[in-house]
Amino acid sequence: MKQVAVMLKPASSLCNLRCRYCFYADVSDSRAVRSFGVMERETARRILENIFSCLEPPDAVTIAFQGGEPTLAGLDFYRFFTEEADRLRGRVRVAYALQTNGILLDEEWCRFLKERKFLVGLSMDALRAEHDQNRVDAAGKGTYARVSAARAMLARCGVDYNVLTVLTGALARHPQQVWNWLCKEDIRYVQFIPCLDGLDGGSSPFALTPERFASFYTQLFGLWKADFLLGRYRSVKLFDDLVHLFADGSCHACGLTGHCSPQIVVEADGSVYPCDFYALDEYRVGNLAEERLDGLYEAPAMAAFRARPTQSLELCAACPYAPACGGGCPRMRREVCGNKDAATCGYRMFLEECLPDIRQIARRERRA
């Protein structure tokens, strides 16, 4: 049985917000074509044909819509897309996900998402002041109240959702406040995405640092563990990933062990890239509207991307955690581990404090 995942950008880099730290704006600004606009329906149909032609029961595919802001493609696009998928998929199983800033969600959207069993990732920074400072609309106004209303609507309509929070250097100063917010708002599933410096190596005032990474996650883990041991489980993706890694060796996050997994990231014109962080002209793999999915996985450009040399840290040579880390995600390495001349590694500092407890929880999960 094959299980594949495809990320589609039906509205390319178009967005109705002007988030001050947006990594995809940095990526798209580095391409010859910044935005490919909204995906044509014929392009979507050919993409679906080239996915399902490679699959048969009991295979499964997850189709995740991201952006930019994917809801800008319009609800009618998603109705067309899911109906076309039903026509073409036969008995192949399909799951849908949508990563959104929530601004355009209304009752009609939420009824559709519930009916089609979408898993929604809602972009929402944990503290209102941080969110309103960084996640602003075209007029420069904060959006926390509007996103909070969207989250309440998702919950009211019974839509499964999680929260994605950008972990800036500033937000990482406040792990206790972040945990209090998660508990107060009853956020059951959260993923923190490190805020990155520029693709060109330039420094961003919002970027995370290895020291802040270590401090934030070490303190957050203590709070998470205390509730976990009392039977109050709250999903923090990094902690879940590490427990799985040490419980059964399974790795559920690309780059967690230093290896890039093959990904299919599809821009609005059908162009395919091997990673959301590297949707750049030089890494273009092919076009899913013109080529079958299995051929793209095996394309020379995909193999070349995965085999590209990356610069390991001098610290890695003597690090006891290197076999389980491998230097981490290459794109996040500077913010999480450090640059090549770093004297300390943020990920190592975190593991030194927390790994014994993570291993203990992993052993407990193995016995369960």
As a whole number of angstroms, the distance between CA 11 and CA 136 comes to: 19
As a whole number of angstroms, the distance between CA 127 and CA 187 comes to: 13
A 10 A CB-CB count for 211 gives 14
276 is catalytic: yes
Length of the chain: 368
Asked if residue 295 has a cis previous peptide bond (ω within 30° of 0), the answer is no
As a whole number of angstroms, the distance between CA 278 and CA 167 comes to: 20
Tokens of 112: 């559709």
On whether the CB atoms of residues 113 and 160 are closer than 8 A, the answer is no
- Residue of 60, 152, 140 whose CA lies nearest to 105: 152
On whether the CB atoms of residues 346 and 368 are closer than 8 A, the answer is no
Residue of 26, 137, 276, 357 marked active site: 276
Asked if residue 58 has a cis previous peptide bond (ω within 30° of 0), the answer is yes
Tokens of 266: 């599809």
DSSP category for residue 314: G
On whether the CB atoms of residues 190 and 236 are closer than 8 A, the answer is yes
Q: Which residues are designated catalytic?
A: 276
